[in-house]
Amino acid sequence: MGFLTADFMKSNRRRFLQWAGLSGLGLASNGLFTGVSRASHLSADAMPDILDDKPHVQVFNMSGYSAPKLETVRLGFIGLGQRGPTHMMNMTKIEGTDIKAVCDIRAEYAERAKSRVAKLGFTPEVYSGDSEAWKKVCDRNDIDAIYIATHWALHTPIALYAMEHDKHVFIEVPAALTLDECWQLVETSERTKKHCMMLENCCYGFTELLTLNMARQGFFGEIIHGEGAYNHNLLHLNFDKEGYWEMWRLKENAGRNGNLYPTHGLGPICQVMSINRGDKLDYMISMSGNDYSMGAKAEELAATDDFFKPYVGKKYRGNVNVTSIRTHNGRTIMIQHDVSSPNVYSRIDKVVGTKGTALQYPLPARISNGGEDWLTPKEVEALEAKYQPPIVKRIGELAKQVGGHGGMDFLLDWRIVDCLRNGIPLDQDVYDAALWSCISPLSEWSVANHSNSIDIPDFTCGSWITNAPVDIMLEKGGNTKIKI
C-alpha cells in the first residue's frame, strides 16, 4: 500500500543513489559525545561531492527516554494495506486506546478500516484520495501517536512530518531507505523528544524473548556470535497485481541489490548483544549472488500478459544476500536475505555463547548448554519454564489467542501502549530504527564494490558506552489490561 507518485519516487531514487549507490560512501564512527562525522574513512578523492560530511552532534539522548504519561493513547493509522489493519485491530483489544483517524489513498481500504472498528465503539475520521492526505492526520491536535504502514519510500517522510507535529511515530520495517533518512530520523527525534520506534515484531517472538532472557541471566555465558535471516518466498506475491500498491515492492527489488530487509533477523540479535547499549556495530561486508528467479518470472508472465512487459529486462536483486558484521567488542553477526527462491521459511535466530547455544530454525527450536549435542525436548521444556520471560507470563497466552504472527504482533502493540501509558522507555528507540535500517543501503554499497567492507555509523554518538540495556522483561509497567 502507499501514496506512490512518479515525482516522489524519482526524488527518493536520487537520494538513494546519492547515499548508497556511489563508490566511496562510508561513515566513520569516531565522534563519541561531541559529534560523529558523516564523511568516509576512504580517501577524499573517492568521496562524492554531494556527500554531507558535517558532524552529527547528539542534542538529547533518546535511549532510555521516558515521555510524559498518556492516560489514553490517541492513535492515527496511515496505510491500511497488509500491516496497518493488524496493528489497528490489536489496539481495539488494549485498554486506554482511542483510534482517531484512518488513512489510505484507496478510499475503500480506509472506509473498510473505519467500519471494522466502528463495530467496536471507535469513531475514526477517514482520510483518503489525496497522495498527501496523511499530512492532515499528522496535523490534528487530538492524536498522540501515528502508526505508519505505507510502502517503504514514505516511511521516513511521514515520520519526520509527524514528529514535527508533536506525534510519537511507530514505523513498519524498514524505518528508512537511505543513510540520510536514518540521520534525519535521529536528529528529528532528538530535537522534538518524540519516540521514533520501528515496529520490529520479531523482537517479540516467543523464542526470541526466551533467548534474550536466557542471555540476560547468563545462560549462554559471553555472547560470541549471532545469525539471523529473512528467508521467505515472496516471488508470487511480488508479482501479484493485487499484492502491493502499484507493484511497489517488486520495483524495490529491481535496481537495488543487497539486503533490502535486514531487520527481522538483525533486531533480536542486536538486543541479545546489547547493541547501542554496551556494544556497537563496527563494520560489515555484503555479497549477493545472481538473480535466478525474478527476471525469469517477469518473462514468463509477460508472455501472456502485457502488464508485465515493463518488468522484463530489469536488473533484479540477487536471490540470496549474505551480510557479515563485526561489533566493536569483537562479536560477529551473519544476516541472510532471500525472498525470491523456494527456500524454506527461516529467520535462523542463532545465538552462540561461551557456555551454550540456541537455534530457532529449522523448527523446533533447540538449545545446547555447551555440549556437542542439543538438549532433549524434555530438557528444553524445563529451560523454557525456568527462563520464560515475564512479558510472556503476563500476556503470552492472550497474545496467542489474538494471533498475528503467532501472537508477537499483539505483544508488540500491547507493550507500546503499556510503555506510553506508564511513561517508561520503549524497548526500541530511534537509534535502533536507524541502525537496523541502515544495513540495507550499506549492503548495496558493499555488493556494488566487490564486497568491500564499510563502516557502520554510530547513531548514538558514543552514548552506546553508557546506555542501559532495554527492559522488555516488565521490570516496570505491565499493568495495561487486555479486552478479549
**Is the pLDDT higher at 454 or at 50?**
454
The pLDDT of residue 6 is above 70: no
**Is the pLDDT higher at 170 or at 12?**
170
Confidence of residue 27 (pLDDT cuts 50, 70, 90): very low
For residue 211, what pLDDT is reported? 97
For residue 41, what pLDDT is reported? 37
For residue 474, what pLDDT is reported? 81
- Annotate 134-166 with b (16+ C-beta within 10 A) or e (fewer): bbebbebeebbbbbbbbbbbbbbbbbbbbbebe
CA–CA separation, 480 and 183 (whole Å): 33
- Per-residue pLDDT reduced to its tens digit, 177-214: 999 999 999 999 999 999 999 999 999 999 999 999 99
The pLDDT of residue 250 is above 90: yes
- Annotate 73-82 with b (16+ C-beta within 10 A) or e (fewer): bbbbbbbbbe
Nearest Cα neighbor of 174 from 153, 195, 145, 188 is 153
For residue 419, what pLDDT is reported? 97
For residue 29, what pLDDT is reported? 34
Worst-scoring range by mean pLDDT, 50-59, 80-89, 204-213, 214-223?
Answer: 50-59
CA–CA separation, 350 and 368 (whole Å): 11
Q: Region 47-69: what's the mean pLDDT?
A: 77
Torsion angles phi and psi, residue 194, rounded to 5 = -110, 135
The strand pairing partners of 454, in sequence order, are: 284
For residue 21, what pLDDT is reported? 37
The pLDDT of residue 148 is above 90: yes
For residue 54, what pLDDT is reported? 64
**Is the pLDDT higher at 242 or at 142?**
142
Cell, residue 95: 485498554
Cβ–Cβ under 8 Å, residues 434 and 193: no
Torsion angles phi and psi, residue 298, rounded to 5 = -60, -45
Q: Tell me which H or E stretch contains 367.
A: strand 366-368
For residue 371, what pLDDT is reported? 86
Structural domains in the chain?
Answer: 73-200 (3.40.50.720)
Q: pTM of this prediction? A: 0.90
For residue 36, what pLDDT is reported? 56
